[in-house]
Chain A
């Protein structure tokens, strides 16, 4: 499904990261907000039933981001058994244009993945257009690899990557400390802007 959250966006106002409120999907009153965001930004038409399918069966996997009472971003996911693997799937991710480039999308996805991990997911997957540099960078930073290329996956003829995140199996890492406890100084990688990395660690 689709992701729209290019990290380069015009910064309309100065917003502190703490001004963004993240809320788990709470019920029918959130549904129109999610639908409105997704319908606006993504090109594939979804009927209301599609949204209901996700948020009814997996409400704990969908999150909304608010700024001063306005819904500025959302992530919609599911999880389930798929060929003997318990797998999470990111169906939709949207952040409205003026709010892009601030790590909101990363935070939404991170929250969802954490719930997936807690629920026992072994891996997380999604598709993204090969031209969607923003999404590819976002998921790449989170440890997703490009597992496959899907020729002309989208109706407009664009190829897609199937992105997959393999979560560590406990038996492989018996003494692995929680990521948040890792004391290593965060290295200055070209790919992660400073604001991003501090958010990641703060969120955990």
Chain B
């Protein structure tokens, strides 16, 4: 038991000798110092007591008592919340001077906003929002209407946010977020918190109106007590309070609206988001007034302050919860400064607005593109959890579209097929689960996401084999040529080709995310681009095949005679979506060969470690893909074969970048209504152009010129590098 040793030096001479921990009903304090000393004499240096549950491995979890980094029981200032309150750490009212009381209330609101943003960004609730003593004992504030209603609402808000993140259940690495043990998050009457706040808002609005009215009219207005006695400051304080209260209210409404099933509340949520942003502007602008009227002793260095006024808020102590926060004492954290907190909420609201503006496109392909695009600016956990809950509810897309119907549409099957009995087949059900799982994975943070995408590759490969067998079993025995058989054949063909396409898509995302996560070093780029190249070729092939199959089935319905080959050739053009993939393929191939040539001729970008070879590096990077045979017949040897003889003098290389550039330019007309793909095409053009030029320079100067230095940068595209040639 933690009891300050009497003989050894106290680490902190100010710690009171009398313990404030009282003996329990069945327990009593006993001083065991001399016992421990005697026991320690019985051991030689280096000896360790062994026990059933105590070996060397278990011993690693030992804590050194009174080590501030290990002992969370150390008393800092107050032992408990109650002691802090007894010592006046959180007075109610905040001051008997009403002006100061208002100032302090605003400071608390600002600091709570900063705490909330800090919590969202990955720290514990106990060290942030619930470092507020007023929140830890909410009932104490009931006589202070403004503070009380604000605290109630922020508590209800935290609870709502935790609920969203918990329900999404994909926050494994961010699990600090939902830890709430011991914190008073549930309050009776929190459902009424909005009406409480509305009442307070109404009062302050009247106070604002009253102070702005010219003095002659004042007698006509209802007899209302001002917010605080200093009439010059009344307007400023009323406004400052109102925007803070309103922001809180509208933010809570955003969360409530977004939780409504099947996206029913999204439009209303957007209105509340707009109100939040406008109130945030007012909050930001109130800083000037608050700083100038702040009570005296606020130091400079306004930049790091967590309040608009620059004053320290009263009533906060993070150490009071240290035993609740985590098994080991939490590291001291920095609460985000006030300006950064506002920026955080602006960013969050912006991302929530993107979610609310989404058209709930029934096409799975469109959903996947939307999610990938959404993730580009690296949205935080709260936004991502909201997206996931919108996409996947009750095992359906948007809680609305059954997964089998989604799959049929993605596989380019006609609408009528979605009611087919085959959806009850266990493997078709499993496929549905894989799709749901994929959507959830795509909403997580990039690092976790990539690991999961790698793991599910095997599942998608296996489901293909299982479905192939299942379809043969179910449909294979049909002997007569009926309409039903046509449907079944079509169904199995389309679904199988779509599963393959989806598998290659996952593989391509897995590889590309490696660039965004900085997992590859330049000596590994060549093999990575090569693998991206082979995967994209397969992806394009499957995508194209799927479209051709749906064209054929469409055509066969209408026409009785077979088309002449000439007609087919004339009617058929490679779909723009496939060409879109083709320009990526050209870029990947170009980069592979450029890097290979640099390695072969200039002997740069090589893996030359003393313990292993390029082969081991290859195995490690592509292990999951290889295990799942994605693609088949691809190995380290294929990579060596392709790249071993790459030379700058081989003219054919020039065309990779030229082809990509030309294709990207041609595709502009096909995607003029799609801003995301237009942006992607522009980036492809830039990379292709710059790399083409770099290649020209290298060839002109001579690849072996020692003054030539080539490096690769990601300034135009997140995963296609641009070669930068420098003369030293």
- Given that A149-B447, A150-B173 are contacting pairs, would A142 and B517 also be in contact in the complex, using a CB cutoff of 8 Å? no
- Given that A57-B56, A149-B517, A157-B122 are contacting pairs, would A165 and B70 also be in contact in the complex, using a CB cutoff of 8 Å? no
Whether a CB of chain A sits under 8 angstroms from the CB of B610 is yes
The digit string for A157-180, where 1 denotes a CB below 8 A from any CB of B, is 101010011111000110010010
A-B contact count (CB 8 A): 118
Residues of A110-155 at the interface with B, using a CB-CB cut-off of 8 Å, are: 110, 113, 117, 130, 140-153, 155
Whether a CB of chain A sits under 8 angstroms from the CB of B608 is yes
B524 A179 Cβ-Cβ under 8 A: no
A53 B60 Cβ-Cβ under 8 A: yes
The digit string for A74-114, where 1 denotes a CB below 8 A from any CB of B, is 00000000000000000000000000000000000010010
B604 A151 Cβ-Cβ under 8 A: no
Q: Which of A143, A146, A148 contacts B610 (CB 8 A)?
A: A143
CA distance A148 to B121 in the complex (A): 22
A187 B60 Cβ-Cβ under 8 A: no
A146 B520 Cβ-Cβ under 8 A: yes
Q: What secondary structure prevails in chain B residues at the interface with A?
A: loop
B57 A167 Cβ-Cβ under 8 A: no
Q: Closest chain B residue to A188 by CB distance?
A: B603
Chain B residues with Cβ below 8 Å from A16 are none
- Given that A47-B64, A50-B60, A159-B447 are contacting pairs, would A166 and B612 also be in contact in the complex, using a CB cutoff of 8 Å? yes
Q: Closest chain A residue to B448 by CB distance?
A: A151
Chain A residues with Cβ below 8 Å from B603 are 187
- Given that A167-B616, A168-B616 are contacting pairs, would A149 and B607 also be in contact in the complex, using a CB cutoff of 8 Å? no
A167 B174 Cβ-Cβ under 8 A: no
Q: Which of B48, B521, B616 contacts A166 (CB 8 A)?
A: B616
Whether a CB of chain A sits under 8 angstroms from the CB of B445 is yes
Q: Closest chain B residue to A143 by CB distance?
A: B609
Whether a CB of chain A sits under 8 angstroms from the CB of B137 is no
CA distance A118 to B539 in the complex (A): 43
Within the complex, the shortest CB–CB distance from A133 to chain B, in Å, comes to 11
A179 B610 Cβ-Cβ under 8 A: yes
Whether a CB of chain A sits under 8 angstroms from the CB of B45 is yes
B620 A166 Cβ-Cβ under 8 A: yes
Whether a CB of chain B sits under 8 angstroms from the CB of A183 is no
Q: Closest chain B residue to A144 by CB distance?
A: B609
Whether a CB of chain B sits under 8 angstroms from the CB of A45 is yes
Chain A residues with Cβ below 8 Å from B446 are 149
Chain A residues with Cβ below 8 Å from B608 are 187, 189
Chain A residues with Cβ below 8 Å from B521 are 140, 145-146
B60 A151 Cβ-Cβ under 8 A: no
Q: Which of A53, A159, A164, A176 contacts B59 (CB 8 A)?
A: A53
Q: Closest chain A residue to B55 by CB distance?
A: A53
Chain B residues with Cβ below 8 Å from A145 are 519, 521, 524, 617, 620-621
Whether a CB of chain B sits under 8 angstroms from the CB of A204 is yes
A172 B615 Cβ-Cβ under 8 A: yes
List 21 interface pairs A-B (beta carbons < 8 Å), by A numbering.
A31-B46, A45-B67, A47-B60, A49-B48, A49-B59, A53-B56, A113-B611, A117-B611, A130-B518, A141-B609, A143-B617, A148-B450, A157-B121, A165-B609, A166-B619, A168-B616, A172-B615, A173-B613, A176-B613, A189-B604, A189-B606
